């Protein structure tokens, strides 16, 4: 069965510091991977997605993620975090058509000044 694990429930980083959010997946076929961000009281917004090709994917708001098949991972990174990045981040896996996504439990990012 497909599943997504986000090992960190909470992460706190200082403004300007680098960020890495971890995501591990289990999927029976070629995985298509997504990162979403959810601000309080808001819906989820797509940050980036990996379908195929280059394993380093660039997204919006300066985020990037790297697909590592051997490690079943799709970690999200940002070189310098801004206070406005404080939110909850969800990793998701699904088929290539973007339907039937399975989400992880999320990681809450806190940014301290």
Partner 1 sequence: EAGVAQSPRYKIIEKRQSVAFWCNPISGHATLYWYQQILGQGPKLLIQFQNNGVVDDSQLPKDRFSAERLKGVDSTLKIQPAKLEDSAVYLCASSLFVSGGGHEQFFGPGTRLTVL
Which residues bind to partner 1, rule: CB under 8 A? 4, 32, 36, 41-46, 49, 51, 90, 92, 96-106
Cβ–Cβ under 8 Å, residues 94 and 13: no
Residue 31 exposed, middle or buried by CB count within 10 Å (0-12, 13-18, 19+): buried
CB of 9 to partner 1, least distance (A): 8
Secondary element (H or E) of residue 108: strand 107-112
CB of 43 to partner 1, least distance (A): 3
CB of 75 to partner 1, least distance (A): 17
Tell me whether residue 17 or residue 60 sits nearer to partner 1 (CB atom).
Answer: 60
Tell me whether residue 81 or residue 94 sits nearer to partner 1 (CB atom).
Answer: 94
């Amino acid at each position: 069965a497909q599943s997504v694990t986000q090992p960190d429930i909470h992460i706190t980083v200082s403004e300007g510091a680098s960020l890495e959010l971890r995501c591990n997946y289990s999927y029976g076929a070629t995985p298509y991977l997504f990162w979403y961000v959810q601000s309080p009281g808001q819906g989820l917004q797509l940050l980036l997605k990996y379908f195929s090709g280059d394993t380093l994917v660039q997204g919006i708001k300066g985020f990037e993620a790297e697909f590592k098949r051997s490690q079943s991972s799709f970690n999200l990174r940002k070189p310098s975090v801004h206070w406005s990045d404080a939110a909850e981040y969800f990793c998701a896996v699904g088929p290539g058509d973007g339907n039937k996504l399975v989400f992880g439990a999320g990681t809450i990012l806190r940014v301290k000044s």
